[in-house]
Homo-oligomer: A and B are copies of this chain.
Amino acid sequence: MGIQADSVPNSLEYERVAGIIERQIDTGAFRAAERVPSLRSMSRHAGVSIGTVVQAYLHLEQRGLLEARPRSGYFVAKRGAQPLALPTPRKAETRAPRGVSREVVDTVIESFGRTDLVALGSAIAASASRINGRLNGLTRRTLRDVPSLPNVFSSPPGLAELRGEVAKRMALCGLPARADDVVITNGTMEALSLSLRALCEPGDAVLVESPTYFGILQLAEHMRLKVVEVPNHPGSGIDVDALERAVRSTPLAAAVLQSSFNNPTGGLTPDAAKRRIVAALAKHGVPLIEDDIYSDLHFGRERPTPFAAFDDSGNVITCGSMSKSIAIGYRIGWAISTRYTEALIRGKFCTTVGCPTLQQHVATRYFRAGLHDRHLRHVRNHLRDNCERFAAAIAASFPSGTRASHPAGGVVLWVELPKGVDGTALFHAALEQGIGIAPGLIFSATGEYRNFIRMSAGMEWTPAVAKAVALLGRLAGK
């Protein structure tokens, strides 16, 4: 059963208002540091309530486009103007995961392991030597304090102290979790995998975004699940109307949605839309597994709210990790749920049994040391600056007609090449030149996004990276 995307995706009033402002920023009508219309005047101008304008401005602030100044109003944030238009949204449809060529995926995975590439392929923030030093210091202290750890087994659900720290952090962003709701996993992917395993039988259909992280599609194929794709827009995130239609028309065993800053589009779904999505899924009895991995990497002031904050029925499992913001080498993640922890524990026990004991202790000490928020500010500033540098470099060297996302958080840029330019061919050509990217084709089971690529903006911006982006642009123009 086909599900068509809307040509006008957002039916929400406040998103219409936000769109008016965003277009004026994009065209340069409003410049950086310039004051935007007051709440009252915008309310009159757009014919909506003041409350709706507040919602719109808060959303733009969260996306890093506006800044609030106490007692002065809202101003355009000081960030580079977006030099390229946003990629175009696409259709999506129900189908069994198919045709993501195994060979392409195998080559992408292999390229992630190569240390000889300019690694624009994997969605990883650059290693910060400062954070590594702190973590290694905590590791040394842990070895000294608990020398028996190599032979201490950490049974699922994992170290109680770490579960407590994770629960505390989630409570700060609107999800009142208890330590007993947390299961420690080998990164976010194991949390997603165990959650799907707890909820789905082979042959079931699950709802995902289009595009979505290709590992989610690989996981669905691995588990013999079908996927139903609903569009995610590079600006406003998940197309709620399309999602509601999909939930009404197709029996679904679960939904797997990214909480914020979709990988690859960077799209951020507003809170009001999240509320509608949670309600629609609960109404039709479809459990929601959210992938909250990028929410900490927001460029705006506030961390986006997880879906689970809008749920009071136990219908949402929140999956996250410390891989993107702290230590990808640790393989520490979590799944948070009030309803499914027993099933998650059972699944963990018979597939990977436990998580490394040492890293669970070090992560606990790290969170308790209170260093995390300062570190995150540093990472976020780095990523925001990098996204702008990459966007400018793409605009300068890629062929005319190229579009790119303008993310308000996360690590990746989603680049639409002119029609007829094959992202997979570019991926292979780039590999030959020692550059890793990810071809757009692998981010959907529909066969769309052939003329897209995903680039990581997580690297340090160095002359080698600048040269690699320029070379990519020339290869794309050939």
Q: Are B151 and A128 in contact (CB under 8 A)?
A: yes
Minimum distance in angstroms from A226 CB to a CB of chain B: 14
Verify A218–B350 contact, CB threshold 8 A: yes
A143 is an interface residue with CB less than 8 A from chain B: yes
Stretch at the interface among A73-81, A102-110, A312-320: A102-110
Q: Closest residue to A349 on the B side, CB-wise?
A: B109
Q: A88 within 8 Å of B by Cβ?
A: no
Residue numbers in B under 8 Å from A136 (CB-CB): 143, 147, 149-150
CB within 8 Å of B: which A329-362 residues: 329-331, 342, 345-347, 349-359
A462 within 8 Å of B by Cβ? Answer: no
Task: List residues of A (127-151) whose CB comes within 8 Å of B's CBs.
Answer: 127-129, 131-133, 135-136, 139-140, 143, 147-151
Q: Can you tell how many copies of this chain the complex includes?
A: 2
A353 touches B331 (CB 8 A): yes
The docked-state distance in angstroms from the alpha carbon of A351 to that of B140 is: 30
Task: Please provide the chain A residues from 385 to 403 with a CB less than 8 Å away from any CB of chain B in the complex.
Answer: none
Known contacts A132-B148, A148-B127: does B342 contact A356 (CB below 8 Å)? Answer: no
Q: How many residues of A contact B (CB 8 A)?
A: 67
**Are B346 and A106 in contact, CB atoms less than 8 angstroms apart?**
yes
Q: Are B156 and A349 in contact (CB under 8 A)?
A: no
A131 touching B153, Cβ below 8 Å = no
Contact check, A329 vs B150: say whether CB atoms are below 8 A apart: yes
A371, CB-defined interface residue at 8 Å: no
Which residues of chain B are near A435, meaning CB under 8 Å? none
> Assuming A151-B328, A329-B357, A331-B356, is B189 touching A351 (CB within 8 A)?
yes
Q: Are A109 and B346 in contact (CB under 8 A)?
A: yes
Nearest CB in chain B to that of A122: its residue: B153
A115 vs chain B, min Cβ distance (A): 9
Contact A352 B352 (CB under 8 A): yes
Contact A224 B201 (CB under 8 A): yes
Contact A358/B329 with A109-B155, A189-B352, A352-B193 known, Cβ cut-off 8 Å: yes
A113 at the interface (CB under 8 A from B): yes
A372 interface residue per 8 A CB criterion: no
Contact (Cβ within 8 A) A219 B143 = no
The reply to whether the CB of A112 lies closer than 8 angstroms to some CB of chain B is yes
- A222, CB-defined interface residue at 8 Å: yes
* Residue A152 lies at the interface, judged by CB distance under 8 Å to chain B: yes
Determine whether the beta carbon of A131 is less than 8 Å from that of B151.
Answer: yes
A323 to chain B, nearest CB (A): 8
In chain A, residues 175-195, which have Cβ atoms closer than 8 Å to a Cβ of chain B? Answer: 186-187, 189-190, 193
> Which of B113, B331, B345 is close to A352, meaning CB atoms less than 8 Å apart?
B331
Contact with B along A87-126 (1 / 0, CB 8 A): 0000000000000001001100110110000000010101
In chain A, positions 214-273 with a C-beta closer than 8 Å to chain B are 215, 218-219, 221-222, 224
Tell me if A350 and B215 are in contact (CB < 8 A). Answer: yes
Contact of A152 among B105, B127, B155, B193 (CB under 8 A): B127
Residues of B close to A55: CB separation below 8 A: none
Tell me if A154 counts as interface (CB < 8 A to partner B).
yes
| Binary CB contact string for chain A from 284 to 327 against chain B (1 if under 8 A, 0 otherwise) | 00000000000000000000000000000000000000000011
Question: In the complex, are the beta carbons of B329 and A222 less than 8 A apart?
Answer: no
CA gap between A150 and B127 in the complex, in Å: 8
Give the docked Cα–Cα distance between A149 and B202 (Å). Answer: 38
Question: Is A169 positioned at the interface, with any CB of B under 8 Å from its CB?
Answer: no
| Cross-chain contact B149 with A329 (CB below 8 angstroms) | yes
Flag whether A23 is at the interface (Cβ < 8 A).
no
CA distance A156 to B105 in the complex (A): 13
Is A474 in contact with chain B by the CB < 8 A criterion?
A: no
Q: Which residues of B contact A40 (CB under 8 A)?
A: none
In the docked arrangement, what's the CA distance between A149 and B151, Å? 21
- The answer to whether A329 touches B131, judged by C-beta atoms less than 8 angstroms apart, is no
Beta-carbon nearest neighbor of A216 in chain B? B350
User: Is A197 an interface position by the 8 A CB rule?
Assistant: yes
Contacts A/B (CB < 8 Å), 6 sampled = A122-B153, A136-B149, A202-B224, A218-B346, A222-B351, A329-B358
For the complex of A and B, 5 pairs with smallest distance between CB atoms: A113-B155, A127-B151, A329-B357, A218-B350, A150-B327
Given contacts A151-B328, A202-B202, 17 further A-B contacts (CB under 8 A): A106-B345, A106-B346, A109-B349, A113-B155, A129-B148, A131-B150, A131-B151, A133-B147, A136-B147, A140-B143, A150-B328, A186-B186, A193-B352, A215-B349, A218-B346, A218-B349, A352-B352
